[in-house]
Amino acid sequence: MKLSSLLKNKTLASGLPSFAYTDEEFWQMECATVLTDNWTFVGFAHELNKPGDVLPVLIAGKPVLLVKNIKEDIVAFHNVCRHRCLKLVDQPKNVGKIIRCPYHSWAYDLDGKLCASPLFGGTDKHQPPDFNPADYGLESVRIKVWHDWIFINLNDIAPPFEEYAAPLMKQLNDIKFDKFYPVATLEFEQISTNWKFLIENYIEPYHVQFVHDKTTNQPLKNHYTIVDGRCLGSGVDLSDENTSSDKLSVSSKYLSLFPNFILGTYFPGQLGVHLNQSLGPDCTSQKRVIYTSEGYELTKVDIDNQKKLWWEVHKEDHEICERLQLGRASPVSDKGGVLSPHWEKNVREFQKLVIESVMEYSKTQKEKIYV
């Protein structure tokens, strides 16, 4: 199947064919386009508490280092020493004032400036002739911290973040983010599924009353879809809010910002944000942070109940997404299935954004892969 044919407007649209979820070469093209051309979600600001805190992340297969500097700004660098290109930091930690390479002890300050290159010029000389330390600092990465959420643009071509994320911000204009704070984190680690399945599953409401019938009480008839440029998702409006139930039974919005940012709003004062990190065509890591708002403080029992509820909801989704991945081994999936024109139009728009990015890559590389 040609991806270009999927861009045509049809009443009943096909989904992406199997190779878009299973093929290593296709994933590498996504790494070169989807995950680098756009503002990609990479971490949570509250995980970098004080100067010297560093957080290594892997984005589109590339090592990146998030750093809280002396001014308490969060900055980002390619996580590679400028000497022999060793990965500098492999675990979250506090490095004090210096990022030091474990190989030959080259040292950088928290703004990426090269401070030391011991004995690089000889046994008694740190700098050889014509060596300018200013030319060998850490390579910076374009970064935006929006509230508690860290985004990077690896190839520096995305529009300014405020322009890029405007459709999402419009959906959230009634949220007072300065009143929210994190209360719990759920670490799911690796899930045996393509990253796109987790996004597509999250934004479409069609599955909710079937997959989550034990953990939610949000009838399908109360749902609607959201399609607004790079902001894709769904919502549900309930006349009877039940905030004390062990089931999720409140009005909610399930929003995404292309490619991988996911944020849920839950009446009356809770947010949930997912970090989905693609590790390969059939492997994704995921974590969820739960936020509550001032005026809606949660007790320890409340937090434990929320963690239990969301763990169960996510595990229901993970099982489905892993089975979606397994289904792509069938030749039937080469046709991509069929999308609901009512409930899954947001999925179609998400897939179009993927296709357009990958096709542009093929054109610029003078290749005809899958097109």
Query: Residue 75's domain is classified under what CATH number?
Result: 2.102.10.10
Tokens standing for residue 361: 């890559």
Whether residue 172 sits in one domain with residue 54:
no
The model's confidence at residue 280, banded by pLDDT at 50, 70 and 90, is very high
Tell me if 23 is assigned to some domain. Answer: no
Tokens standing for residue 127: 């700098």
Whether residue 340 sits in one domain with residue 218:
yes
Whether residue 218 sits in one domain with residue 337:
yes
Structural domains of the chain, count: 2
The model's confidence at residue 369, banded by pLDDT at 50, 70 and 90, is very low
Over residues 213-264, the pLDDT tens digits come to 999 999 999 999 999 999 999 999 998 888 777 788 899 999 999 999 999 9
Over residues 77-129, the pLDDT tens digits come to 999 999 999 999 999 999 999 999 999 999 999 999 999 999 998 888 888 89
Whether residue 174 sits in one domain with residue 64:
no
The model's confidence at residue 366, banded by pLDDT at 50, 70 and 90, is very low
* CB within 8 Å of 223: residues ≥ 6 apart: 205, 208, 234, 235, 236, 343
The CA distances from residue 133 to 104, 130, 139, 178, in Å, are 15, 10, 13, 41
Whether residue 303 sits in one domain with residue 173:
yes
d(CA 98, CA 109): 5
The CATH number of whichever domain residue 223 belongs to comes to 3.90.380.10
Contact 267, 160 (CB under 8 A): no
Tokens standing for residue 140: 């910076």
d(CA 208, CA 216): 8
Tell me if 26 is assigned to some domain. Answer: no
Per-residue b/e over 77-110, b at no fewer than 16 CB within 10 Å? bbbbbbeeeebbbeeeeebeeebbbeeeebbbbb
Tell me if 5 is assigned to some domain. Answer: no
Whether residue 247 sits in one domain with residue 282:
yes
Tell me if 258 is assigned to some domain. Answer: yes
Whether residue 184 sits in one domain with residue 55:
no
The model's confidence at residue 66, banded by pLDDT at 50, 70 and 90, is very high
Whether residue 336 sits in one domain with residue 225:
yes
**Average pLDDT of span 296-302:** 92
* CB within 8 Å of 112: residues ≥ 6 apart: 67, 75, 77, 137, 138, 139, 140
Q: Give the per-residue pLDDT at 127.
A: 87
Whether residue 328 sits in one domain with residue 231:
yes
Tell me if 354 is assigned to some domain. Answer: no
Whether residue 313 sits in one domain with residue 191:
yes
The CA distances from residue 334 to 21, 22, 29, 132, in Å, are 11, 11, 19, 55
Q: Give the per-residue pLDDT at 367.
A: 46
Whether residue 317 sits in one domain with residue 198:
yes
Mean pLDDT, the chain, whole residue set = 93
Over residues 340-356, the pLDDT tens digits come to 999 999 999 999 999 99
**Average pLDDT of span 141-162:** 97
- Give the range of the structural domain holding residue 109, as residue numbers without chain letter: 40-144
The model's confidence at residue 361, banded by pLDDT at 50, 70 and 90, is low
Whether residue 315 sits in one domain with residue 219:
yes
Half-sphere exposure of 51 toward its Cβ, with a 13 Å CA cutoff? 11
Percent of all residues in the chain with a pLDDT value above 70, rounded to a whole number: 94
d(CA 30, CA 295): 42
State which of 85, 111, 144 marks the end of a domain.
144
Between the two ends of the chain, the Cα-to-Cα distance in Å is 8
State which of 80, 109, 144 marks the end of a domain.
144
